[in-house]
Structure 1
Amino acid sequence: MSYLHVLNGDATLTLFKQSGLPGDVVICREMMCEGKAKYTKDLITFFESRAKHLEFQYGIDKQTYHIHVMQELEKIDHFGPTADEIILWFEYDLFCQINMLFILHYIISRLEIIPPISIVDLPHHRQAEDLPGLFEKRVKLQSEDLTMAADVWDAWCLDTPVVLETISKLSTGNLVHIPAALQAHLKRFPDITTGLSIIENYFLLRLMLGNYRWYDLYMLFWGELEIYGFSNFQLDILINRMVRSGVIEEQDQMLKITSLGREILGEEENYLDYISMEHRWLGGVRLANTPWRWDSSIEGLVAIII
């Protein structure tokens, strides 16, 4: 059997090599849950838009993106047509699940003949010796699963989150973690009262209890909101935005909440009055233009007049 394994990030590669599993390997080095995802069926157009946005908003050089992301994914074009099976190794969190959807979109878009595709339900904590057993328990995707994946990816790139909210309440076949990941994603929309995303709200609530070093705060986040699977890079960007907006300040390498942060938590002020959303995107939704807000009282999105 000829296998093509798609791993989410380089961290899994070392364990995979130690596992002794046969097959070619492709590394997905994207973070599709972060930033703009243009709605288009043309992958070249998509990557051009994505690279431009990541360079402007996140400081990721276009050439670096081309070499480390696009050229790596092009291995799917080379190995995919001759593979007897493509196996996707992704965890249950939002970061991994959206990357997995994109990889499925890439395979469907690029390969004329699609070999059988399986997914490994990869736990967050694992050792190299665990991988062969996980490989044996992989789940083969059916045609309806591929259709669902394509529909969810399209919905991710739309300029409205309404379709994603609908999908988050449905059964998604063998893509069992998609609903929970989408529900976590929707809570990233600004709160209807405070303007805070669930992650910004979490950080302020934690800092209400005391000051923290950056990494210690991240460790708490990773333990309590593991569903997001965010990297240091993403959290650094978010915290820096909060510092610039004046809701958090840093003193002697310690983060602390400001009086403005306390007022926002107390619903006396709104976070959106103090931070620019001009180039902020959640998938295909440009936050500066969207009327959609998260309402925790109904656990759903509502539209406001803007």
Structure 2
Amino acid sequence: MSTLHLRCGDDLREVLPRAGLAGDYLCFSDPVCVGPAEDHGDLLAWLGMRARYVALHAGQDAGQVRLRLGREYAALNGLQRYDAVHLWFEHDLWDQAALIRILSLVAEKRQLRGRLWLMPADGVRTFPEMPEAELAALRPAPLTDLQIEQAAEAWDAFAAPDPRALEALSRRALALPFLAAAMRRHLRDLPWTSDGLGETERMVLRAVAEGAATEGQVHAALRGADAVFHVTDLITREVIGRLRIGPKRPLLAKDPLRLSPQGEALLAGAARHRPPPRAHAGIAVLPDPPWLWDPAAEGVVKGD
């Protein structure tokens, strides 16, 4: 039986053969949990948009990124060549966003029914953190039609400019076990009604206030404090960078990392952040945000 292992990274490429899990390997590297993700169904336009973002995010050549992403998305059209496709996606936002993106693209491919299998994550560890013997003992579960349909629905809501459908979906009992919590974590990175900061931005400021003076120290603090959004070093760098922008920047522009008076006031609850423009999946974040996260109601609200 031919098997493909599909993963949002290369971190299992050499591990799975050592664990005795044979098969081809496909890395889906598009970090759709960050940056623009407005999707109008035009794959060429999507690839151009994502390549520009990823190249800027990672400091890579846009042309090379476009070629890599193009190969990976094209490979999704050939999944039916395999008897079984094992989906290695964990509980965190990075993995869940990639999973719903992939499933949104294959949801209508009837020839894949019965060939897609979800590997069981435990909701705590990443797969590379598991001993090889434990990986070898994992038994995949067949992906159901309901799971595929809900993933496609979640992607449409994730990529939409209005976050209310995604919030409503995140309050439901979903067939994909970790999806609702991941989508709520995504929404919590919208500016908050209380201070204008997203959750990751606030965590960065708190880490600096507690003594983190370098990107690496901030990254370690974020990784240790957040079980649902396992930020990468590049995400940490991007968040720090935007907190150093503007006349009322929360972080001082020069190293080592230090809070500005504005940053100190934000953490004390005595100021409000006006975020620089950015795309949060399909949602536009602006200095006067059209959408906010209300921590009291634990939901999204319209901006003033």
Query: Please, what TM-score do these two structures have when normalized by structure 2?
Result: 0.89
2:50 aligns to what?
Answer: 50
How many angstroms apart in 1 are the aligned matches of 2:107 and 2:293? 33
Q: Tell me the C-alpha RMSD between the 2 structures.
A: 2.1
Q: 1:58 Cα deviation (Å)? A: 6.0
2:5 aligns to what?
Answer: 5
1:237 aligns to what?
Answer: 238
2:136 aligns to what?
Answer: 132
Gaps of 5+ in 2: none
Q: 1:97 Cα deviation (Å)? A: 0.4
SS of match in other structure, 1:185? helix
Query: Please, what TM-score do these two structures have when normalized by structure 1?
Result: 0.89
- 1:1-306 equivalence runs, <5 A: 1-55=1-55, 59-78=59-78, 80-108=79-107, 111=109, 113-115=111-113, 116-122=115-121, 123-124=125-126, 125-134=129-138, 136=139, 138-173=140-175, 175-245=176-246, 246-249=249-252, 254-272=256-274, 275-277=275-277, 280-288=278-286, 290-305=289-304
Q: 1:211 Cα deviation (Å)? A: 4.1
How many angstroms apart in 2 are the aligned matches of 1:194 and 1:154? 29
How many angstroms apart in 2 are the aligned matches of 1:224 and 1:218? 10
The 8 Å contact of residues 38 and 49 in structure 1, kept in 2 or not, is answered as: no
Gaps of 5+ in 1: none
| Counterpart residue identity of residue 287, structure 1 | V
Percent identical residues:
23
Q: 1:197 to 1:154 in 2, by over 3 A?
A: same
| Counterpart residue identity of residue 296, structure 2 | S
Count of matched residue pairs:
295
How many angstroms apart in 2 are the aligned matches of 1:211 and 1:102? 34
Q: 1:8 Cα deviation (Å)? A: 1.6
**Per-residue Cα deviation, 1:119-161 (whole angstroms, up to 9, x for no partner):** 1133312233322212x2x221111111111100111111111
The 8 Å contact of residues 168 and 180 in structure 1, kept in 2 or not, is answered as: yes
Q: Choose between structure 1 and 2: higher strand proportion.
A: 1
**Per-residue Cα deviation, 1:145-184 (whole angstroms, up to 9, x for no partner):** 11111100111111111011001110111x1100110111
How many angstroms apart in 2 are the aligned matches of 1:211 and 1:35? 25
The 8 Å contact of residues 94 and 185 in structure 1, kept in 2 or not, is answered as: yes
| Counterpart residue identity of residue 87, structure 2 | L
The 8 Å contact of residues 27 and 73 in structure 1, kept in 2 or not, is answered as: no
How many angstroms apart in 2 are the aligned matches of 1:249 and 1:194? 19
The 8 Å contact of residues 8 and 27 in structure 1, kept in 2 or not, is answered as: yes
